[in-house]
Amino acid sequence: MSGLRRLPGDPPAEAIVERMLRVDHAGEYGARRIYAGQLAVRGRSPAAPVIRHMAEQEQRHLAAFDRLVAERRVRPTALSPLWHIAGYALGAATALLGERAAMACTVAVEEVIDRHYQQQIETLGDAEPALKSALEEFRADELEHHDTALAQGAEETPGYGLLTAAIKTGSRLAIWLSTRL
């Protein structure tokens, strides 16, 4: 595996890719649960088609990582039961706050995921071209979700700054944990 950008003391390339797959698989699983929670609350609202479209793309991302994790025999995160509940709770709670708060949740999560995928793409360099192009494609979808949510008035939600800061912190923590556990 050549081209992967490693620093002295970093784990071997294979371990790095394994960690990437573990955390991405966990993240897409969490994303699917967030939108499931939002749809449970707002399934009949005017925003429902927009949320459903995002949910379908997350399902596609998750399916890709399901395949990769199985093919490469990567141990999935031990925290799936936590993301099952936390993702759904986050989606449902923000949706209960209102349609704009649900969109603010998407803005916050996608901002973190965008950075995360960007960093992985940089780390891969010219290694793992198939994985890299999948990450690029998914990253473009996440950016689309981010921009759609902004267009839906996310920033007008009361307490937008605090809400998104909290969700971003939680998302970063989830990434940190899922990379390791």
Q: Give the binding site for Fe ion (CB under 5 A).
A: 28, 31, 58, 61, 142, 145
Of 141 and 155, which CB lies nearer to Fe ion in the complex structure? 141
Q: How far is the CB of 42 from Fe ion (least distance, A)?
A: 16
Q: How far apart are alpha carbons 144 and 110 in whole angstroms?
A: 9
Q: How far is the CB of 6 from Fe ion (least distance, A)?
A: 26
Q: What type of residue is 60?
A: R
Of 28 and 99, which CB lies nearer to Fe ion in the complex structure? 28
Q: How far apart are alpha carbons 91 and 47 in whole angstroms?
A: 14
- Residue partners of 33: CB distance under 8 A and separation at least 6: 83, 84, 86, 87, 88, 91
3-state secondary structure of 52: helix
Closest to 145 (Cα-Cα) out of 173, 104, 88: 104
Q: How far is the CB of 51 from Fe ion (least distance, A)?
A: 11
Of 99 and 142, which CB lies nearer to Fe ion in the complex structure? 142
Name the residue with the smallest CB distance to Fe ion.
61
Q: How far is the CB of 143 from Fe ion (least distance, A)?
A: 9
Of 13 and 154, which CB lies nearer to Fe ion in the complex structure? 154
